[in-house]
Structure 1
Amino acid sequence: MIRIEHLTYTYPDGSQPALQDVSLQIAAGEFVLVAGPSGSGKSTLLRCLNGLVPHFSGGQISGHVLVGGKDVIALGPTVLSRYVGFVFQSPEAQAVLDEVEAEIAFGLENVGMSPEKMRKRVAEVLALLNLEGVRKRPLSTLSGGERQRVAIGSAIALRPRLLVLDEPTSQLDPEAARQVMQAVSRLNRQVGLTVVLATHRLEGMLPYADRLIWLEKGRIIHNGAVPDVITKLPEAPPVIRLAQKKGWYPLPLSVAEARQFIIEEGRRLRAKFVQPVTEKLPPHETCLLVQNLSFGWNGRPVLRDVNLVVRPGEAVALMGHNGVGKTTLLRCVVGLLSPQSGEVWVNGRSVNGRSVAEICRDVGYLPQNPDDLLFAETVREEIAVTLRNHGVHGTIETIDNLLAELGLSELADAYPRDLSVGQRQRVALGTVVVTRPGLLLLDEPTRGLDTEARRRLIAIWQKWLAEGMGLLIVTHDVELVARLAHRVVILADGQVAATGKTAEILPHFPQFAPQITRLFPGQHWLTVADALTSQTDKEV
Structure 2
Amino acid sequence: MTARPARTGAAGLARAAATGDGGPAPAGPAVEVRDLTFRYPGAQRDSLTGVGLTIGRGDFTAVVGGNGSGKTTLCKTFNGLIPHFWSGTYSGEVRVFGQDTTTTGVAALSHRVGYVYQDFGNQLVRPTVHDEVSFGPVNFGLADWRERSEEALDLLGIDALRDRYTWQLSGGQQHLVALAGVLAMRPDLVVVDEPVAELDPARAEEIYRRLTDINRRLGTTVVVIEHHAEFIARYCKSVLLMADGAPVWHLPVEEAMARSGELAAHGIPAPQVVRLARAVEPEGKVPLTVEQTVRWLDGRGLRPAPGPGTPEPAAGEPATGPNAPAPQPGPVVASLRGVRHGYRDVHGGLTPVLRDVELELREGERIALVGGNGAGKSTLLRLLTGLKVPRSGTVEVTGTDTRTARPAQLAERVSYLYQRPEQMFLADSVRADIAMFPKGRGRPDTDELVDHILERVRLTPLADRDGRTLSGGQQRRATLGIGLAMAPALLLLDEPTSSLDVATRDDVIAMLEELADRIRCVVVATHDMHLVAEWATRVIALGDGRVLSDSGPAEFFADVELLERVHVVPPQITVLGTALGLVPPPLTVDECVGRLPVAAKEAGA
TM-score normalised per structure 1: 0.89
Which of 157, 161, 169 is 2:184 aligned to? 157
1:48 and 2:105 aligned:
no
Task: Say yes or no: does 1:204 pair with 2:250.
Answer: no
> Counterpart of 1:490?
541
Residue in structure 2 matched with residue 513 of structure 1 by the alignment: 570
Report if aligned partners of 1:36, 1:215 keep a CA contact under 8 Å in 2: yes
Question: Given that residues 87 and 155 in structure 1 are in contact (C-alpha distance below 8 angstroms), is that contact kept between their aligned partners in structure 2?
Answer: yes
SS in 2 for 1:8: strand
Match of 2:21 in 1: none
| Partner residue in 2 for 1:246 | 280
| Comparing 260-269 and 71-80, the one that deviates more | 260-269
Q: 1:516 to 1:112 in 2, by over 3 A?
A: same
> Does 2:523 match 1:523?
no
Asked whether the equivalents of residues 34 and 213 of structure 1 are also in contact (C-alpha less than 8 Å), the reply is yes
Structure 2 Cα separation of the partners of residues 419 and 94 of structure 1: 18
Aligned residue pair count: 533
Conserved 8 A contact 2:190-2:221: yes
Identity of aligned residues (%): 35
- Which amino acid is 2:588 matched to? T
Q: Which residue of 2 aligns with 1:294?
A: 340
Does 2:285 align with 1:258?
A: no
| Cα-to-partner distance string for 1:328-378 (whole Å, 9 max, x where unaligned) | 111111111111333333334544412212222112222223332322234
Tell me if 1:328 matches 2:379: yes
Paired residues of 2:369 and 2:541 also in contact (CA < 8 A): yes
Q: Identify which range, 77-86 or 434-443, moves more after superposition.
A: 434-443
* Match of residue 364, structure 1, among 415, 421, 428: 415
- CA pair 99-256 structure 1, distance change in 2 beyond 3 A: farther
- Distance in 1 (CA, whole Å) between partners of 2:47 and 2:54 is 19
Q: Which moved more, 1:78-87 or 1:100-109?
A: 100-109
Q: Which residue of 2 aligns with 1:236?
A: 270
- Which consecutive residues of structure 1, in runs of 5 or more, have no partner in the other structure? none
**Residue 519 of structure 1 aligns to which amino acid in structure 2?**
L
Whole-angstrom CA distance in 2 between matches of 1:410 and 1:88: 26
Given that 1:271 and 1:523 are in contact with CA atoms closer than 8 Å, whether structure 2 keeps it comes out as: yes
Cα distance change on mapping 1:539 and 1:259 into 2, 3 Å: farther
Please show how residues 53-68 of structure 1 align to structure 2 within 5 Å.
53-68=82-97
CA spacing shift, 1:360–1:268, aligned 2, 3 Å: same
Alignment partners' CA distance in 2, 1:342 and 1:392 = 36
Q: Which residue of 1 aligns with 2:18?
A: none
Q: Which amino acid aligns with 1:29?
A: G
Paired residue secondary structure (1:342) = strand
User: Aligned in 2, Cα 1:310/1:255: closer, same or farther, shift over 3 Å?
Assistant: farther
Q: 2:197 aligns with which of 149, 153, 170?
A: 170
Which residue identity is paired with 2:226? Answer: T
2:118, 2:593 → 1: CA distance? 36
Per the alignment, do residues 534 and 122 of structure 1 end up closer, same or farther by CA in structure 2, a change over 3 Å counting?
A: same
Q: Partners in 2 of 1:398 and 1:111 — Cα distance?
A: 53
Q: In structure 2, the residue corresponding to 1:203 is in which secondary structure?
A: helix
Aligned residues of 1:313 and 1:467 also touching (Cα < 8 A): no
Shift of 1:15: 1.7
Contact 1:516 1:527 in 2 (8 A): yes
Please state if 1:187 is matched with 2:214: yes
Q: Which residue of 1 aligns with 2:40?
A: 11
CA distance in 1, matches of 2:64, 2:504: 14
Deviation at 1:76, TM superposition (A): 2.6
Aligned 8 A contact 2:114 2:189 in 1? yes
Residue 509 of structure 2 contacts residue 535 of structure 2 at CA under 8 Å; is this kept in 1? yes
- 2:113 aligns with one of 71, 81, 84: 84
SS at match of 1:181: helix
| CA distances 1:56-109 after superposition (whole Å, capped 9, x unpaired) | 110121111111111112213122112211222344322333444443333223
Contact 2:58/2:221 (CA < 8 Å) preserved in 1?
yes
| Gap change, CA 1:268 and 1:131, over 3 Å in 2 | farther
> What is the CA–CA distance in structure 1 between the aligned matches of 2:353 and 2:443, rounded to whole Å?
36
Shift of 1:254: 2.8
Q: Distance in 1 between matches of 2:146 and 2:469?
A: 45
User: Aligned letter for 1:217?
Assistant: D
> What displacement does 1:10 show?
1.3
Query: Counterpart of 1:305 in structure 2: which amino acid?
Result: D
Pick closer, same or farther for the CA change 1:341–1:261 going to 2, 3 Å. Answer: farther
Whether 1:453 and 2:501 are equivalent positions in the alignment is no
**Shift of residue 494, structure 1, vs aligned partner:** 1.0
Q: Which runs of 5+ in 2 are unaligned?
A: 1-29, 310-321, 345-349
Cα distance between partner residues in 2 of 1:152 and 1:383: 34
Give how far 1:145 is off: 5.3
Q: Do structure 1's residue 501 and structure 2's residue 558 form an aligned pair?
A: no
Q: Secondary structure at the match of 2:509?
A: helix
- For 1:324, what is the secondary structure of its paired residue? coil
Letter matched to residue 275 of structure 2:
R
Contact 1:108–1:157 at 8 Å: present in 2 too? yes
Residue 21 of structure 1 pairs with residue 50 of structure 2 = yes
TM-score w.r.t. structure 2 length? 0.80
For 1:135 and 1:416, the matched residues in 2 are separated by: 35
Which AA in structure 1 matches 2:410? I
Alpha-carbon distance in structure 1 between the residues aligned to 2:142 and 2:391 = 50
Alpha-carbon distance in 2 for matches of 1:21, 1:223: 15
Cα distance in 1 between the residues matched to 2:460 and 2:337: 41
Cα deviation 1:253-298 (Å, max 9, x = unaligned): 23343333356544574579x9xxx9998xx812233333222223
**Alpha-carbon deviation of 1:198?**
0.9
Contact 1:507 1:518 in 2 (8 A): no
User: Is the Cα–Cα contact under 8 Å of residues 115 and 192 in structure 2 kept in the other structure?
Assistant: yes
Contact 1:8 / 1:22 at 8 angstroms: preserved in 2?
yes
CA–CA distance in 1 between the matches of 2:403 and 2:135? 48
- Comparing 231-240 with 341-350, greater Cα deviation is found at 341-350
Tell me by how many angstroms 1:207 deviates: 1.3
Residue by residue, what CA displacement relative to the aligned partner does 1:210-252 show, whole Å, maximum 9, x if unpaired? Answer: 1001101101012101121122301223222112223396422
Distance (whole Å) between structure 2 residues aligned to residue 201 and residue 358 of structure 1: 39
Check 1:16–1:289 CA distance in 2 against 1; reply closer, same or farther (3 A cut): same
Q: Does residue 216 of the first structure (1) align with residue 246 of the second (2)?
A: no
Secondary structure of 1:6's counterpart equals strand
User: 2: distance between equivalents of 1:90 and 1:422?
Assistant: 11
Contact 1:89/1:169, CA 8 A, preserved across alignment:
no
Cα deviation 1:493-521 (Å, max 9, x = unaligned): 11110011111112222624211111112
Secondary structure of 1:287's partner? strand
Distance 1:460 1:65 in 2: 41
Verify the 8 A CA contact 2:273 2:289 in the aligned structure 1: yes
Q: CA RMSD in A?
A: 3.1
Where 2:409 maps in the other structure, the secondary structure is helix
Aligned residue in 2 for 1:316: 367
Which residue of structure 2 lines up, in the alignment, with residue 533 of structure 1?
Answer: 594
Aligned AA (1:291): R
> Which amino acid in the other structure matches residue 220 of structure 1?
P
For residues 349 and 124 of structure 1, what CA distance do their matches in structure 2 show? 51
